[in-house]
Amino acid sequence: MRHPFRALIAATPSRAVGALVAPALLAFGSLTFGCSDDPVAPDGGTGNDTGHIKLANENNFTTVTSELHLETVQAAAEYDLTLDWSKIEYDLQCHAVHPAEDIDTVLFLRFTDTTKEDVSKLLDKGDLDTSDLVAPAPFKFVPNGTKMTADLTDFAVTETKFDPSVHFKDNGDVYLAVFQNGTNLGQGARSMVFVEPDDGDNDTVTAPSNAPGSDGKCPALDYEARLADLTPVAVPKTGSSWILDWKGMNTDSQGGKLDKNKISRMLIGFYANETPETLQEKFLDLEEIPTDSWEIKWEGLVQSVEINGAENRKAGGEPFSGFERSESGTWIMGLFCDACQSPAPFVVTVLKPE
């Protein structure tokens, strides 16, 4: 298990209420950043004091806990059920969702020779593939932007229509309804619910609201990350160029292999009046709450980027020009995979301007 961002979970919900969608390349325009798999610092230097900032494994955050806890709805086997997503208020990370606008694909998945617990672990790893599903799969429904219900017989795989008498049987298989933003399997899931066939008469499956409990925790996700224990990355506060280079990193937040081929986006964020200790308590909201933030996107294997001129995520915001700020706070850098089942950080580190 990597961490929940890399599960079927949206990581940038407030921006297009989230967009677990395939990344589009930034128009380079007047931006001055560049990407390279073998960077050379502009001044020929190789150390952090030159603006060529090299990251190592000890600079990455640590995932302590990551577990999905999905609700189960029992419903009549072999019946044309109605799926209803109108009650979704929050996604799996407890970010606000507007279901009529944000749910643009509903999937109905079927697994065999497994359990709900094992499926949850598969989802949490972010490794779901069509080969894990019983064919034909996945059955899909595309809402029209206003309707927030659909019958199972509205779902199809290419030319194959969903037939409840064939595709929803009480035979030990595991069924999962996924409500997502985006059309690719597992990319952009905002809510999920197991559907368990029985001999009862319930004919409606309502997606849970995912509202936080009285303790503020998300009911579907148990997650804890550590930022305070990592080694911060020293960066020059001023200069004419900054290259962030992760060629020397090879492990992810749980000690597994860091798949650099999948990384397609960098986020630089400044969080006024925050510390690594306070931010780790808000880890699921790191893309939501920065005082200011910038991002760069690319395609293919990239192991470093020059961040000068990176695009500000605020409309009309100034491109990145340096680490000097008038207020105290914490700088964060994250590396994401936007084409994975979540554009979640593979890497999150603390940048320390000096």
The per-residue pLDDT for range 19-45, each reduced to its tens digit, is 222 222 222 222 233 555 443 333 333
Return the structure tokens found at 2: 């990597």
Q: What is the pLDDT of residues 150-177, one digit of tens each?
A: 999 999 999 999 999 999 999 999 999 9
Mean pLDDT of the chain: 85
Q: What DSSP line would sit under 124-170, residue for residue?
A: HHT---GGGSPSS--EEE---SS--EEEGGG-EETTEEP-HHHHS-S
Q: Which of 164, 192, 217 is the last residue of a domain?
A: 217
Structural domain for 193, as ranges: 70-217
Q: What is the pLDDT of residues 78-101, one digit of tens each?
A: 999 999 999 999 999 899 999 999
User: Residue 24's pLDDT is what?
Assistant: 24
Residues ≥6 apart with Cβ < 8 Å to 31: 309, 310, 311, 319
> What are the respective helix, strand and coil percentages of the chain, to the nearest 5?
10, 30, 55
Are residue 213 and residue 227 in the same domain, yes or no?
no
Q: What is the pLDDT of residues 180-225, one digit of tens each?
A: 987 776 668 899 999 999 999 999 999 999 999 898 889 998 889 9
Are residue 93 and residue 211 in the same domain, yes or no?
yes
Residues of the chain above pLDDT 70, percent: 84
Cα–Cα distance, 266 to 255 (Å, whole number): 21
User: Residue 35's pLDDT is what?
Assistant: 54
Mapped onto helix, strand or coil, the DSSP state of residue 270 is: strand
Return the structure tokens found at 127: 């490794």
- Are 236 and 49 in contact, with CB atoms under 8 Å apart? yes
Q: Which of 162, 188, 217 is the last residue of a domain?
A: 217
Are residue 86 and residue 144 in the same domain, yes or no?
yes
- Reported as type and span, the H/E element at residue 335 is strand 329-336
Are residue 213 and residue 254 in the same domain, yes or no?
no
Q: Which of 217, 239, 265 is the last residue of a domain?
A: 217
Are residue 75 and residue 211 in the same domain, yes or no?
yes
Are residue 140 and residue 206 in the same domain, yes or no?
yes
Cα–Cα distance, 221 to 244 (Å, whole number): 32
Which has the closest alpha carbon to 342: 141, 192, 158? Answer: 192
Residues ≥6 apart with Cβ < 8 Å to 29: none
Asked if pLDDT for residue 147 goes beyond 50, the answer is yes
Are residue 184 and residue 230 in the same domain, yes or no?
no
CA-to-CA separations, 33 to 12, 247, 287, 297, in angstroms, rounded: 23, 18, 21, 10
pTM for the whole structure: 0.76
Return the structure tokens found at 40: 């050379």
Are residue 74 and residue 213 in the same domain, yes or no?
yes
User: Looking at residue 169, which CATH number applies to its domain?
Assistant: 2.60.40
Number of domains the chain is built from: 2
Asked if pLDDT for residue 310 goes beyond 60, the answer is yes
Are residue 146 and residue 273 in the same domain, yes or no?
no
Are residue 159 and residue 281 in the same domain, yes or no?
no
Please list the residues that pair with 141 across neighbouring strands. Answer: 106
Asked if pLDDT for residue 130 goes beyond 70, the answer is yes
Are residue 81 and residue 61 in the same domain, yes or no?
no
Are residue 58 and residue 94 in the same domain, yes or no?
no
- Are 224 and 98 in contact, with CB atoms under 8 Å apart? no
Cα–Cα distance, 137 to 133 (Å, whole number): 6
**How far is C-alpha 290 from the chain's CA centre?**
17
- Minimum mean pLDDT range among 9-13, 88-92, 132-136, 196-200: 9-13
